[in-house]
A and B are shown apart, each in its own frame.
Chain A
Amino acid sequence: MATASKAVTDSRANLPFVYRHYSAEQLREVLHKMYLIRRFEEGAEECYTRGLIHGTMHLSIGQEASAMGICMPLAEDDQITSTHRGHGHCIAKGAEVKRMFAEFFGKTTGYCKGRGGSMHIADVGKGNLGANGIVGGGIPIAVGAALSSKMMKTGKVVVSFFGDGANNEGAFHEALNMAAVWKLPVIFVCENNGYGMSTSTARSTAVKNIAERAAAYSMPGVIVNGNIFSEVAEASHQAIARARAGEGPTLIESKTYRHRGHSKSDRNRYRTKEEIEDWMSNRDPITLFESELREFGFIDDKGIEAIRDAVAQEIAEGIEFAKASPSPDISETGNYVYTEQA
């Protein structure tokens, strides 16, 4: 993305990196997108409750700064692999919410033409190679995409999002090792929200910080507060620069929290109400970013109001678009299993 002019940079000399590096407009767009992620998921949740969407879904409410902080410094043709909790990544990488809603409604206008649903949401055109139903499944795939980038000299950087739970899969370890050995332009982003389903990292993971695992694969391991946009974006920016310079991968651990249950059937018996309440009221990423923007003079109440209104309208239109879209025909069940030959 574009860089701010030198004059602007000087006047913000004491502010955190992103406020020096990006324009006010770009930063307001980040807030817009964070709201879009939040409201999209709230909208999807409501549609699910009303029986308009079937299956299940994994909401990333509370993790918006992490998705936005990582994706904002990426170029449009950089690529990501995402997870079962991937709505935020998808929007952050540039997806349109109406086509996401359409996918959730199982419609032909959805990103996967109704075949994938929430857990396989993707937007290949914007570089999102897809969410994944298999924990850890996307990590080696990101390394493969980075290998393509290197072999084809496209200059693309690839981000692999995954959760704290995924770092105990063999795929994580095998993938990090290869990425390091071959110095590939890939960034491993562990969104540590404290739990893999019901299992806390303390009960599942031998190291205290997942970033420590980077040492085993000779790459930098960076810990950021995943609820503070500016911290995440700065780490992403640096990892991208390293990847583009051919210096190899980085492991970023973004410490965050999911406000909702693991999926639609979670009774939250493994954590306390107080813990959830604390994260929701004291460390909400949107609230934190909004107040920073306000404090540093990048936005005022009117500006915030305008963003909220625009988002509300986009969500309402998206749901209408999904409802009005056609369902795939039963006769098309066999489509896309193999590549159609002309």
Chain B
Amino acid sequence: MDAMVRELSYAQAIQEAMAIAMDMDERVFLMGEDIGVYGGAFQVTGDLVERYGADRVIDTPISELGGAGVAVGAALTGMRPIFEFQFSDFATLAMEQIVNQAAKMRFMLGGEVSVPVVMRFPAGSGTGAAAQHSQSLEAWLGHVPGLKVIQPATPYDAKGMLLAAVADPDPVMIFEHKLLYKMKGPVPEGYYTVPIGKADIRREGRDLTIVATSIMVQKALDAAAALESEGIDVEVVDLRTIRPMDKQTVIDSVKKTSRLMCVYEAVKTLGIGAEVSAMIAESEAFDYLDAPIVRLGGAETPIPYNPDLEKATVPQIPDIITAARDLVKGVR
């Protein structure tokens, strides 16, 4: 039974997933700032309030700590909230509830409870919104046992992983790059899930493994296409979940290609690149490496307002091409 496949934007795919989740389970509801009549800052909830009513598509006051805590409390006691942060940067205001409460509740209570909350975080730079509205903080949350942290990179995955998140008994944090919201791609109608904790090989290759996340997956694919004409065959692994990480897929890929590059938008150091690199260094794939691992990440600076500086702070396709070429050709 093949479901109809249409072209949807990433934002539409998320909206459809939320609608399906609400249709399937009356415990599912949405909370967030301006997600009702405004439709959400990025129009992800859109007109859902007209279809599901203000009792299930709840506009909160501008109260991130309280709002996140209410979602955690509701999840703890039987509901299935999906909480939208207006920008991922505002996770910083709600860290207490996410990190000290949601993540640890089940553990602290010896497995007597679970917290099936889903939180959505519009993330990343590229919109000219400057330092407090452009961050990539996924590694912050990825550091916390008890949370699951995902970064879907396509409309298909955005829908399937959100539905998997809603079905998941534990807190799932979804980082959605703002520049992906308009990206179109094939999305089947109806219910399906994409598993959390499973990476995806988006392109097979022999010479180099690029492990990328979120918006960098498409950039890595574009770079790989350009490198093909030079005879460089790149494998692109879309990590998709940063906690729990799919180590085996990355290890197997590196054993095949013998070279590893990590590409992500967040600040380069102390992040996902460090984790993936260390994981490989600790694994049997280490012996297969023909060259040092390369990380391409964001500059060690807040995101600047000036558009040229803003672009220069995160990896762009030409940066990936150059770094990949140097890595394969042994240039250091």
Q: Which residues of A contact B (CB under 8 A)?
A: 54-56, 103, 106-107, 112, 114-117, 119-120, 132-137, 165-166, 168-170, 196-199, 203-205, 265-266, 269-270, 327-328, 330, 332-334, 337
A134 to B93, CA, bound (A): 9
Give residues of chain B (311-331) contacting chain A, Cβ–Cβ below 8 Å. Answer: 312-313
Q: Are A334 and B128 in contact (CB under 8 A)?
A: no
Chain A neighbourhood of B307, CB < 8 A: 54, 106
Q: How far is the CB of B141 from chain A (nearest CB, A)?
A: 18
Q: Are B38 and A117 in contact (CB under 8 A)?
A: no
Chain B neighbourhood of A197, CB < 8 A: 33-34, 38, 41, 62
Contacts A115-B309, A333-B312; A199 near B130 (Cβ below 8 A): no
Which of B38, B59, B61, B132 has the largest count of A CB atoms less than 10 A from its CB? Answer: B61
A134 to B129, CA, bound (A): 12
Q: Are A199 and B305 in contact (CB under 8 A)?
A: no
Q: Are B37 and A270 in contact (CB under 8 A)?
A: yes
A117 to B125, CA, bound (A): 14
Q: Are A199 and B301 in contact (CB under 8 A)?
A: no
A270 to B38, CA, bound (A): 7
B284 contacts the other chain (Cβ, under 8 Å)?
no
A137 to B131, CA, bound (A): 14
B222 contacts the other chain (Cβ, under 8 Å)?
no
Contacts A106-B306, A337-B301, A337-B302; A133 near B130 (Cβ below 8 A): yes
Identify which of A56, A114, A134, A166 contacts B306 (C-beta below 8 A).
A114
Question: 19 A-B pairs, CB-CB below 8 angstroms?
Answer: A54-B128, A55-B130, A106-B305, A106-B307, A114-B304, A114-B309, A115-B304, A117-B130, A117-B306, A119-B132, A169-B63, A169-B65, A170-B63, A197-B33, A197-B34, A197-B41, A270-B37, A330-B309, A332-B309
Q: Are B37 and A198 in contact (CB under 8 A)?
A: yes
Contacts A165-B62, A196-B61, A199-B61; A56 near B129 (Cβ below 8 A): yes
Q: How far is the CB of A116 from chain B (nearest CB, A)?
A: 5
Chain A neighbourhood of B131, CB < 8 A: 115-116, 120, 133
Chain A residue at minimum C-beta to C-beta distance from B96: A170
A266 to B40, CA, bound (A): 10
Q: Are B59 and A334 in contact (CB under 8 A)?
A: no
Q: Are B301 and A198 in contact (CB under 8 A)?
A: no
Proximity bits, B288-309, A CB within 8 Å = 1, else 0: 0000000000011110111111
* Interface size classification for chain B: 35 or more
Q: Which residues of B contact A (CB under 8 A)?
A: 33-34, 36-39, 41, 59, 61-66, 89-90, 93, 127-133, 299-302, 304-309, 312-313
A168 to B300, CA, bound (A): 33
Q: Are B309 and A328 in contact (CB under 8 A)?
A: yes
Q: Are B128 and A117 in contact (CB under 8 A)?
A: yes
Identify which of B65, B90, B306, B313 contacts A328 (C-beta below 8 A).
B306
Chain B neighbourhood of A103, CB < 8 A: 305
Chain A residue at minimum C-beta to C-beta distance from B130: A117
A55 to B307, CA, bound (A): 9
